């Protein structure tokens, strides 16, 4: 029903003017190492060597963050924790937040954002699971996707508001791809307290949580000034120019959770996209327009989370597709979607050093070892 996501790392650009001269000199040296590592990672053609450069840069960031926070390098890691986890700023009160979303990539991203804000996160994958979670545990805030299957977020919110009459009100935020003002009115009429549009912008989400629960003294904003790797490979640039991937979204993901987080997200997107493509093909063959639209919506949500712009736009264009249109154009449309998925994954895997192989009709991705 729910689970505790992994503790997030919090890399940050450090320029600690209060550090002693020796500390400032070391910070400058580490910044040079990080910069060189990032540049080598972008330029080196050999994937294993590129991963080594990335590892060096990440280690430099961890040490830089520790020094900037006034930590002692000689004691780092003695208690089995990562360098960055010891320097993660925590809010004055940790909030307990439930995230209900049927989309795996959305859950991963939102959980990471909230963890970075210092909060405890529980997860549910549909409206029924969310209701059970809210019955069995107390939450300070609930994030509820409005388009979940079986029981959507609007239905779940209405049922919860009715069943919790007389109890303290728990703020519920709608998660949605729909930015229309009339949709927001529907969410508020259902008993929701606000609306968060996907893909989620980290600072805005943390600020909304802070505004809903003022007693928490506001969750801290994400650190600024993080150096984002510049992707300068000619093949990468060509794909960016084609609009396959939104580089701002990809850079934000890198800044949010680092290289391993992006690799995890790409792996999940690959898995979800492969399943959605099979389901789209089946719905098209059966001329089931409702099912086709629902699956396209789910794929659009996944695409938004990884910045897959072309897939997002293609799925958006079929949100009103009819059975007649499926009978004439369905097979060709699914073929085009599949081609865009392949293009997007080719780009994303090139960035995170991933390698795929089919297994029982599913795209499997694993991170290459760095030696």
Q: For residues 321 and 274, state if they share a domain.
A: yes
How far is Cα 167 from Cα 170, in angstroms, rounded to an integer? Answer: 9
Query: Which residue did the predictor score with more confidence, 64 or 158?
Result: 158
Sign of CA dihedral 144, 147, 150, 151: positive
Question: Using N-to-C axis directions, what is the helix angle for 153-163 and 127-136, rounded to 10°?
Answer: 30
Q: Which of 190, 216, 242 is the last residue of a domain?
A: 216
How far is Cα 266 from Cα 262, in angstroms, rounded to an integer? Answer: 6
Q: For residues 195 and 241, state if they share a domain.
A: no
What is the reported pLDDT for 54?
A: 64
Domain count, the chain: 3
Q: Residue range 303-319: average pLDDT?
A: 91
What is the reported pLDDT for 361?
A: 34
Sign of CA dihedral 349, 354, 357, 362: negative
Q: For residues 210 and 245, state if they share a domain.
A: no
Grade residue 330 by pLDDT with cuts at 50, 70 and 90.
very high
Q: Residue range 49-66: average pLDDT?
A: 64
What is the reported pLDDT for 246?
A: 86
Provide CB contacts within 8 A for 79, sequence distance 6+: none
Query: Which residue did the predictor score with more confidence, 360 or 238?
Result: 238
213-258: pLDDT as tens digits: 865 444 344 433 333 333 333 334 444 445 688 888 888 888 888 8
Q: For residues 38 and 142, state if they share a domain.
A: no
Percent of the chain whose predicted confidence (pLDDT) is above 90: 42
Q: Which domain holds residue 241?
A: 234-367
User: Is 14 within a domain?
Assistant: no
Q: For residues 238 and 363, state if they share a domain.
A: yes
CA 144: distance to chain centroid?
Answer: 16
CATH number, domain with residue 188: 3.40.50.2300
User: Is 10 within a domain?
Assistant: no
Q: For residues 75 and 100, state if they share a domain.
A: no
Q: For residues 100 and 190, state if they share a domain.
A: yes
How far is Cα 44 from Cα 105, in angstroms, rounded to an integer? Answer: 29
How far is Cα 250 from Cα 245, in angstroms, rounded to an integer? Answer: 8
Q: Buried b vs exposed e over 142-175: b needs ≥16 C-beta within 10 Å?
A: bbbbbbbeebbbbbbbebbeeeeeeeeebbbbbb
What is the reported pLDDT for 225?
A: 34
pLDDT over 90 (residue 91): no
Least confident of 35-39, 64-68, 120-124, 365-369: 365-369
How far is Cα 319 from Cα 297, in angstroms, rounded to an integer? Answer: 7
129-172: pLDDT as tens digits: 999 999 999 999 999 999 998 899 999 999 999 999 888 999 99
What is the reported pLDDT for 241?
A: 42
Output the pTM of the full model. 0.61
32-42: pLDDT as tens digits: 676 666 666 65
Q: For residues 80 and 106, state if they share a domain.
A: no
Burial class of 185 by CB neighbour count within 10 A (0 to 12, 13 to 18, 19+): exposed
User: Is 305 within a domain?
Assistant: yes
User: Is 7 within a domain?
Assistant: no
Q: For residues 110 and 140, state if they share a domain.
A: yes
Q: For residues 271 and 175, state if they share a domain.
A: no
Q: Which of 166, 182, 216 is the last residue of a domain?
A: 216
| Residues 310 and 343: beta-carbon distance below 8 Å | yes
Grade residue 269 by pLDDT with cuts at 50, 70 and 90.
very high
74-84: pLDDT as tens digits: 333 333 332 23
Q: For residues 239 and 363, state if they share a domain.
A: yes
CATH number, domain with residue 246: 1.20.120.160
Q: Which of 86, 120, 142 is the last residue of a domain?
A: 86
CA 264: distance to chain centroid?
Answer: 10
Q: For residues 242 and 360, state if they share a domain.
A: yes
User: Is 12 within a domain?
Assistant: no
User: Is 29 within a domain?
Assistant: yes
User: Is 222 within a domain?
Assistant: no
User: Is 306 within a domain?
Assistant: yes
Provide CB contacts within 8 A for 256, sequence distance 6+: 109, 112, 113, 116, 202, 222
How far is Cα 175 from Cα 113, in angstroms, rounded to an integer? Answer: 14
């Amino acid at each position: 029903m729910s689970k505790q996501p992994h503790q997030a790392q919090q890399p940050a650009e450090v320029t600690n003017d209060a550090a002693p001269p020796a500390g400032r000199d070391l910070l400058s040296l580490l910044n040079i190492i990080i910069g060189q590592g990032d540049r080598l990672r972008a330029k080196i053609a050999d994937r294993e060597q590129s991963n080594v450069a990335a590892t060096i840069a990440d280690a430099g960031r961890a040490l830089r963050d520790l020094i900037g926070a006034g930590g002692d390098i000689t004691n780092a890691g003695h208690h089995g924790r990562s360098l960055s986890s010891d320097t993660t700023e925590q809010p004055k009160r940790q909030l307990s937040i439930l995230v209900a979303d049927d989309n795996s990539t959305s859950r991963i991203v939102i959980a990471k954002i909230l963890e970075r804000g210092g909060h405890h996160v529980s997860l549910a994958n549909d409206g029924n699971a969310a209701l059970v979670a809210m019955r069995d545990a107390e939450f300070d805030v609930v994030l509820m996707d409005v388009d979940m299957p079986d029981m959507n977020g609007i239905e779940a919110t209405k049922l919860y508001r009715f069943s919790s009459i007389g109890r303290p009100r728990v703020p519920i935020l709608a998660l949605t791809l729909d930015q229309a003002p009339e949709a927001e009115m529907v969410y508020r009429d259902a008993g929701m307290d606000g609306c968060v549009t996907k893909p989620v912008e980290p600072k805005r989400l943390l600020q909304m949580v802070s505004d809903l629960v003022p007693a928490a003294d506001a969750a801290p904003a994400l650190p600024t000034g993080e150096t984002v790797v510049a992707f300068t490979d000619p093949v990468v640039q060509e794909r960016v120019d084609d609009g396959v991937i939104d580089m701002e979204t990809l850079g934000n993901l890198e800044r949010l959770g680092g290289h391993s987080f992006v690799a995890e997200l790409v792996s999940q997107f690959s898995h979800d996209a492969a399943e959605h493509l099979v389901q789209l093909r089946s719905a098209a063959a059966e001329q089931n327009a409702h099912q086709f639209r629902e699956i396209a919506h789910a794929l659009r949500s996944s695409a938004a989370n990884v910045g897959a712009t072309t897939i997002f736009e293609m799925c958006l264009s079929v949100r009103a597709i009819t059975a007649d249109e499926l009978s004439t154009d369905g097979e060709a449309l699914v073929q085009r979607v599949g081609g865009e998925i392949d293009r997007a994954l080719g780009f994303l895997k090139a960035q995170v050093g991933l390698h795929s192989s089919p297994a029982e009709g599913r795209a499997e991705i694993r991170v290459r070892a760095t030696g």
